[in-house]
Structure 1
């Protein structure tokens, strides 16, 4: 019976293991979780702004009460109308796509981007610190990108990047032809050509976290870079990495 290598020793207290399925479930829930948190934060901000506006109206009305009690009463009534417009009930109805998915507005999308990108950044940075501790670190930007394509991608998404291109001036394009986060998505062709556009828009939300993972991993290796991603056909994802000082 073969003996496990030290790196695979399941009894090593300094090398704890986690169920790979748990990571898959976490990745599936990341986008819905970020959307719920963003919507809750935005709702709380609206309530606080409404309370602030009401308190401001109340303060103004109180300051003018010395001139006339009638003016104060009229101003308070007008203020209540401003604070609670009749059309507010219409705004609570969420818009949906042609196949029933809720539409994410630009403000919510931006909030989700910052949350998912920041979370991915910390994950990528931590993974590099953990898994490169006992290995020689890549020395050149190209070697760092290869580390991301082979080792890091295999660790997080169970496969390696399918294609890597570079202009040798600091810009790298990574293509994953079957990106895990998009592999479970599909397009209902019965909904017409608009369904593909809506599906790609939803797919973009799933690319914020891996962009953060790449950026954090490169930062852990000493490289400052910006990362963008897009998907023009499910389940393919393309990531563009532009290192600091890169020339197109």
Structure 2
């Protein structure tokens, strides 16, 4: 019997399909960054590196900008078809990534190492939001962002050039954590956190993150131990919710 072409995807399969899309997109993005590293950063000769610096990177950035423009125009034109419009936005996002990543590498090649870390993190967060409950996804996102901030404090907090800026960023992040906790309590995060969701993991994530960051401001090696303690909490929470989902 022929399969029904109009058969819709079962609701229980949608989270897995969304997670697979994030996984594939992350793999493609990371592959592109590895190509830039292989042929530009680790070029076989200085002449090859100069050619990439002067010509190829600008060409790739231009292609990315062109794809972005085509995707945005197509998305605006195809407003009547949700599926086609979604594909157009995906195309625009791909163009934006290629153009922005290439331009950043061209301006400062050190950003490539940073992006090779950020892309897998964003991919994992996308998979997290696709598969896990909203309260767990939000809590783990907060803890993951706090780990990143703690790493920045440990790496640059004592710098005579950017140390003060890093501490100001930590204070701003603490304010954002407080705002998130208040919005969670008031129930104004309906798109991120349904009204019936358990709010305790979000409160715990904000509180633990705030304590770890306040401790890191004391200096010394406190930020190192705070980072590992918070990482242990992330691992335990992820394991707990994975078992719960199963």
Structure 1 or 2: more helix by fraction: 2
Structure 1 or 2: more strand by fraction: 1
- Larger CA Rg, structure 1 vs 2: 1
When normalised by structure 1's length, the TM-score is 0.27
